[in-house]
């Protein structure tokens, strides 16, 4: 090791702060550290006699600066002189930032220009020969090329190394740009400052002149991972002084999920294409940087890393064994290692590493916290007040060294101040502040989470890595909507939801690109890269899916507008098959790949807890057979089935009809926007006539039906003893079809109560036939004729029927039926006589002021049962507004609604077809 020459902190001034006893203790502790590191010996009598000034000179002349700064911090801490160790850190940071700003390169003891001169090169080569003579010839070439541009900058075609750098850059830019709430320029500055403490990241350090094993340690959330991501990104952009030709990044949490492999497979996991070039790569270990993030998360039996060692990079071993061999130095002994860990795992690391340099990552210092508060608050006075409150709680002050915690504190206190509340009591304990944050930030006035709220909330919990806190924080959640737009969303969600045992409902959206999409890629390289991304995210998806088998309270699942991969679908279905899955309601809408619904239905076929199932979108041709298996299963308890936009064949519809005959649980069947056609209704007719059929509600909306199907439907209405709800909306039945349908409705055996004929091409003639049904003592109580041309004549027929004493109709929907003020006299008379109607929808009909006034006269009568009236009301029609206000005063039980919504998107009658 070479002497430091000059230190970046004033060691002499610090030593002069010690009294004689403290100085003696300092010397004794330093001697112990020096012996552990096998550093060059100095004459001990000189050290024993030295005062502070002389001791500082001895250190500067005999030991490298990185060891001196590390030893000073360690010894001052052991002496409980944290004030002095803090001064060391502060001076080192100031020196690093000053160097960064000036961009003046230096080595630990040699100053050089951008392109090293010949004397510098000779000095570096001499040191390399002393360290490892066998590698010197290769390194000489690299040293003499310092400062020269890379070949792809010279216009040459990028090679494999450049392609690999591009893959790594793309991978880590995603993570770097998704650092979570509170991340920004200030955190980037702190990361840059901490980075300058790493010798090979300091532009003043010559290549090769630094310790080859560095450990970044500190509590969770203090920025260790963020710092290593910055390092790997700097490598991809060639900003590490061209020291390393290759860099590999391992996350221990991900490594835990890998099976046994060779070291060659492990090292090339991000780009298997260059596995054939690995002998050449590994032979240049001195040019390799290996980053190991999160050592404390490595799951391995105690002592196993030391006992099982492997030096053959083609031998298959468990990943922890390979990692332990790398740390000990059996594998790639000349590589540079950068390891991050929480401080509690340092003991295990010390047993593995050879002469490591330990660097403590402290997160936000006091000045950083203060600067963050000033930036977060718009008002400086409020910022300083909040900062003082936070500082008054020592535990909270320490926790705010984590940027995410600092953001939580700022957000919580700012929100309280904006609401005029006193934030002082909140800062009395960290627990009260976090609970206040959860209630105030994410659940204001019991409103549901927004997508942004959910994302930030889960991120903060994940950063804490405190499973107890996560469990307590997630306990109030019974419903949650997840929008997974990238890998980090998946990581955060999977960690938090496995601790959310009270969750009952979940809505899930998986964006395109999160998983490998089905179908071949346009280029082999793109296919390979997508496959690797999928492998990285699958373990977290497995954790997320585990909640379906572990959470007995989870009853509702909706997956919509999502893009999954084949492997992710398999994992989800495996959890659904679990006997501990208690889902009751499942909604699947517009999900890729095309066979998703088919596989999901197969997983559900033995679930006796499933009562509601909705399948919408996708090509569901192959779904019906697996759906029929569900319906035929003896333990099937399905009560509600909704199929939307299912382009099935006639044979498949026949199979569904047969399965329905065998089923004894289904009471509601919704077949919307399907090409069922009239032939399909014939099949359902057989089902409805079956004596064991329990079907009560049937919707055939927009199923391409004509009047030809009405004979079968009329027959079913007569025979079925259970069918009470029928929706035929958006089908061109016409007046003739309605006439045939009414033949069945007039039979006393008919049990139908609700009939929806929305937009069925019905005119006044059809209304005449319906009026004959209404006027007699019929079971029909709800009739929707919206968006049909009823007109004056048709409405008159309906009004005459309403006057009949046997009329049982309770709800009549006439939205957009071409009704004018000329029909209001008939309506007024009907309302004056009718004793059953409680809801009348006249929305999107131009009745005018005089027409509404006529209705109001009838509604003022005390014996009028109407409770809800929907009208087309112009917002700025003052006379109309006044008339309606008077109406409300004279008839308080009446609710008058404005038809500002469009029932074409959600009709009022639709709610009767939902269980």
Between 113 and 853, the more confident residue is 853
Between 156 and 724, the more confident residue is 724
Q: What is the reported pLDDT for 220?
A: 86
Q: For residues 879 and 836, state if they share a domain.
A: yes
Q: For residues 840 and 788, state if they share a domain.
A: yes
Asked if residue 1 belongs to a domain, the reply is no
**DSSP designation for 751:** -
Between 101 and 587, the more confident residue is 587
Q: For residues 303 and 392, state if they share a domain.
A: no
Q: For residues 593 and 716, state if they share a domain.
A: yes
Asked if residue 34 belongs to a domain, the reply is yes
- The count of domains in the chain is 5
Asked if residue 341 belongs to a domain, the reply is yes
Q: What is the reported pLDDT for 150?
A: 39
Q: What is the rounded CA–CA span in Å between residue 246 and residue 284?
A: 9
- Per-residue pLDDT for 329 more than 70? yes
Asked if 705 and 676 count as a contact pair (C-beta separation under 8 A), the reply is yes
**DSSP designation for 141:** H
Asked if 399 and 362 count as a contact pair (C-beta separation under 8 A), the reply is no
Cα–Cα nearest to 2, from 119, 128, 96: 128
Q: What is the mean pLDDT of residues 94-105?
A: 54
∠ CA 677-681-684, rounded to 5°: 140
pLDDT digit string, tens, across residues 491-537: 999 999 988 889 999 999 999 989 865 444 445 555 555 555 567 78
Q: Give me the helices (H) in 270-425, please.
A: 278-283, 304-307, 319-328, 346-352, 366-376, 380-392, 394-399, 403-418
| Coil, helix or strand at residue 433 | helix
Q: What is the rounded CA–CA span in Å between residue 410 and residue 383?
A: 8
Q: What is the mean pLDDT of residues 608-619?
A: 87
Q: For residues 356 and 251, state if they share a domain.
A: yes
Q: What is the rounded CA–CA span in Å between residue 338 and residue 316?
A: 24
Q: For residues 399 and 343, state if they share a domain.
A: no
pLDDT digit string, tens, across residues 736-775: 999 999 999 999 999 999 999 999 999 999 999 999 999 9
Q: For residues 620 and 768, state if they share a domain.
A: no
Half-sphere exposure of 693 (CA within 13 A, CB side): 27
> What is each CA distance from 797 to 22, 243, 777, 791, 823, in whole angstroms?
108, 92, 17, 10, 11
Q: For residues 208 and 247, state if they share a domain.
A: yes
User: CATH number, domain at 303?
Assistant: 3.40.50
Q: Does residue 593 have a cis bond before it (omega within 30 degrees)?
A: yes
> What is each CA distance from 291 to 220, 297, 299, 661, 904, in whole angstroms?
17, 15, 18, 63, 58
Q: What is the reported pLDDT for 487?
A: 87
Name residues whose C-beta falls within 8 Å of residue 635's C-beta, 6 or more positions apart in sequence: 606, 608
Domain edge (last residue) among 441, 471, 500: 441
Count of residues in the chain: 915
The single residue listed with the structure tokens 């009301």 is 873
**Gyration radius (Cα) of the chain, Å:** 38
Domain edge (last residue) among 752, 786, 818: 752
User: CATH number, domain at 824?
Assistant: 3.80.10.10
Asked if residue 504 belongs to a domain, the reply is no
Asked if 770 and 738 count as a contact pair (C-beta separation under 8 A), the reply is yes
Q: What is the mean pLDDT of residues 85-93?
A: 78
Q: For residues 762 and 893, state if they share a domain.
A: yes
Cα–Cα nearest to 783, from 805, 753, 763: 753
Structural domain boundaries enclosing 854: 754-914
Q: What is the rounded CA–CA span in Å between residue 325 and residue 304?
A: 11
Please provide the average confidence, as pLDDT, over all residues in the chain. 81
Q: For residues 679 and 777, state if they share a domain.
A: no
- 36 pLDDT tier (thresholds 50, 70, 90): low
Q: For residues 380 and 430, state if they share a domain.
A: yes
Which of 280-284, 586-590, 866-870 has the lowest average pLDDT? 280-284
Asked if 532 and 269 count as a contact pair (C-beta separation under 8 A), the reply is yes
Give the DSSP H or E segment for 340: strand 336-341
How many other CB atoms are found less than 10 A from the CB of residue 161?
Answer: 16
Asked if 102 and 96 count as a contact pair (C-beta separation under 8 A), the reply is no
Q: What is the rounded CA–CA span in Å between residue 842 and residue 871?
A: 5
Q: What is the rounded CA–CA span in Å between residue 713 and residue 680?
A: 11
The single residue listed with the structure tokens 């500002």 is 900
Asked if 286 and 139 count as a contact pair (C-beta separation under 8 A), the reply is yes
Q: For residues 218 and 316, state if they share a domain.
A: yes
Asked if residue 511 belongs to a domain, the reply is no
């Amino acid at each position: 090791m070479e002497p430091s020459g000059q230190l970046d902190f004033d060691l002499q001034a610090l030593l002069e702060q010690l009294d004689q006893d403290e100085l003696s203790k300092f010397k004794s502790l330093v001697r112990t550290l020096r012996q552990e590191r096998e550093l060059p010996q100095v004459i001990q009598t000189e050290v024993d006699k030295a005062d502070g000034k002389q001791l500082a000179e001895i250190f500067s002349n005999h030991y490298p600066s990185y060891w001196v700064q590390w030893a000073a911090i360690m010894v001052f801490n052991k002496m409980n002189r944290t004030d002095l160790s803090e001064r060391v850190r502060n001076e080192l940071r100031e020196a690093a930032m000053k160097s960064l700003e000036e961009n003046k390169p230096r080595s630990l003891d040699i100053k050089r220009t951008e392109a090293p001169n010949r004397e510098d090169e000779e000095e570096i080569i001499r040191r390399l020969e002393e360290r490892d003579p066998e590698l010197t010839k290769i390194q000489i070439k690299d040293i003499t090329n310092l400062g020269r541009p890379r070949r792809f900058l010279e216009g040459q075609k990028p090679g494999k190394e450049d392609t690999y750098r591009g893959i790594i850059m793309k991978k880590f830019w995603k993570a770097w740009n998704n650092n979570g709430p509170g991340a920004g320029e200030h955190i980037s500055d702190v990361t840059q400052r901490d980075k300058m403490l790493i010798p090979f990241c300091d532009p003043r350090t010559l290549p090769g002149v630094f310790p080859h094993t560095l450990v970044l340690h500190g509590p969770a959330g203090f920025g260790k991972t963020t710092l290593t991501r910055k390092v790997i990104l700097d490598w991809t952009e060639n900003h590490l002084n061209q020291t390393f030709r290759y860099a590999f990044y391992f996350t221990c949490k991900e490594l835990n999920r890998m099976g046994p492999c060779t070291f060659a497979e492990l090292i090339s996991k991000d780009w298997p294409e260059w596995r054939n070039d690995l002998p050449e790569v590994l032979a240049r270990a001195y040019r390799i940087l290996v980053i190991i993030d999160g050592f404390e998360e490595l799951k391995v039996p105690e002592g196993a890393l030391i006992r099982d060692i492997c030096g053959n990079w083609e031998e298959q071993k468990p990943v922890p064994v390979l990692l332990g061999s790398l740390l000990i130095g059996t594998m790639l002994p000349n590589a540079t290692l950068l390891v991050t860990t929480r401080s509690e795992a340092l003991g295990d690391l010390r047993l593995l590493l050879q002469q490591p340099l330990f660097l403590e990552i402290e997160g936000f210092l006091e000045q950083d916290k203060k600067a963050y508060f000033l930036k977060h608050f718009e008002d400086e006075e409020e910022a300083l007040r909040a900062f003082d409150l936070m500082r008054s709680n020592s535990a909270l002050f320490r926790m705010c060294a984590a940027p995410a915690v600092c953001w939580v504190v700022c957000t919580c206190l700012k929100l309280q101040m904006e609401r005029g509340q006193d934030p002082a009591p909140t800062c009395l304990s960290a627990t009260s502040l976090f609970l206040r944050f959860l209630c105030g930030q994410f659940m204001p006035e019991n409103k549901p989470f927004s997508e942004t709220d959910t994302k930030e909330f889960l991120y903060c919990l994940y950063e804490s890595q405190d499973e107890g806190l996560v469990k307590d924080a997630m306990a109030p959640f019974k419903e949650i909507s997840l929008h997974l737009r990238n890998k980090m969303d998946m990581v955060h969600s999977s960690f938090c939801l496995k601790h959310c045992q009270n969750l009952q409902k979940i809505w899930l959206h998986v964006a395109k690109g999160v998983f490998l999409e089905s179908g071949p890629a346009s280029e082999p390289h793109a296919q390979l890269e997508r496959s690797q991304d999928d492998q990285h995210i699958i373990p977290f998806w497995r954790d997320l899916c585990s909640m379906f088998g572990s959470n007995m309270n989870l009853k509702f699942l909706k997956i919509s507008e999502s893009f999954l991969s084949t492997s992710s679908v398999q994992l989800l279905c495996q959890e659904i098959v679990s006997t501990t899955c208690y889902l009751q309601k499942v909604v699947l809408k517009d999900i890729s790949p095309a066979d998703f619904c088919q596989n999901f239905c197969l997983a559900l076929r033995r679930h006796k807890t499933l009562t509601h199932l909705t399948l919408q979108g996708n090509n569901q041709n192959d779904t019906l057979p697996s759906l029929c298996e569900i319906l035929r299963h003896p333990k099937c308890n399905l009560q509600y089935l909704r199929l939307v936009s299912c382009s099935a064949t006639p044979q498949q519809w026949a199979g569904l009809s047969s399965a329905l005959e065998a089923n004894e649980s289904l009471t509601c069947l919704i077949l919307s926007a399907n090409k069922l056609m009239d032939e399909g209704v014939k099949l359902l007719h057989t089902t409805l006539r079956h004596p064991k059929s329990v079907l009560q509600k049937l919707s055939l909306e927009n199923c391409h039906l004509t009047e030809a199907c009405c004979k079968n439907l009329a027959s079913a209405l007569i025979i079925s003893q259970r069918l009470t709800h029928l929706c035929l909306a958006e089908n061109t039945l016409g007046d003739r079809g309605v006439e045939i349908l009414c033949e069945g409705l007039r039979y006393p055996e008919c049990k139908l109560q609700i009939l929806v004929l929305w937009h069925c091409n019905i005119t006044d003639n059809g209304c005449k036939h319906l009026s004959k049904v209404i006027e007699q003592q019929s079971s029909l109580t709800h009739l929707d004729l919206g968006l049909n041309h009823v007109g004056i004549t048709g409405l008159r027929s309906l009004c005459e029927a309403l006057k009949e004493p046997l009329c049982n109709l309770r709800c009549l929907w006439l939205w957009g039926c071409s009704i004018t003020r000329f029909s209001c006299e008939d309506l007024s008379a009907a309302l004056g006589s009718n004793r059953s109607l409680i809801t009348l929808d006249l929305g999107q009909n131009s009745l005018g002021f005089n027409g509404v006034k006529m209705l109001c006269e009838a509604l003022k009568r005390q014996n009028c049962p109407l409770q809800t009236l929907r009208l087309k009301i112009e917002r700025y029609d003052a006379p109309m507004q006044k008339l309606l206000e008077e109406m409300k005063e004279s008839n308080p039980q009446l609710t008058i609604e404005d038809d500002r919504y469009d029932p074409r998107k959600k009709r009022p009658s639709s709610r009767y077809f939902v269980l």
